[in-house]
Amino acid sequence: MPPRIHLRFRPRCIPAVALPGFLSQFTTETLLLLGAYGVLGGLYLVVIPLALIWWLKTRWTVMGKIERTAIYGLVFLFFPGLILFAPFLNFRMAGQGEVGG
């Protein structure tokens, strides 16, 4: 008789869930993987670029050189997400009102 192996961490089976429509053809592991990719993609393309834009807008005039270098590195890293929001943003300074003449 082979010796019994005691596992400290026993693998658990993921219970089957009845899914509607075309999702039922995928396994639970595949759906979890697609969900993880969706979450990471949303962070990369939406959440972090919007936070970066907010940080740039609030700290633009008071950033030190190290902070500015780090922020520009993040702009390079998250450029695809920043490009997605570029058409909808306005960074022009507020004017002095109408110029009388």
Half-sphere exposure of 19 (CA within 13 A, CB side): 13
Cα 100 to chain center, whole Å? Answer: 46
Q: What is the mean pLDDT of residues 70-95?
A: 88
Alpha helices for the chain (secondary structure H)? 28-42, 48-59, 65-77, 79-85
pTM score, whole prediction: 0.66
- Model confidence at 101: pLDDT above 60: no
- Are 45 and 84 spatial neighbours (Cβ–Cβ below 8 Å)? yes
Give the pLDDT band (50/70/90) at residue 28: confident
Tell me the percentage of the chain whose pLDDT exceeds 90: 50
Instruction: Tell me the average pLDDT across 7-24.
Output: 65
Q: Where are the domains of the chain?
A: 57-89
**CA gap 7, 5 in Å, rounded:** 6
Mean pLDDT score of the chain, rounded to an integer?
Answer: 83
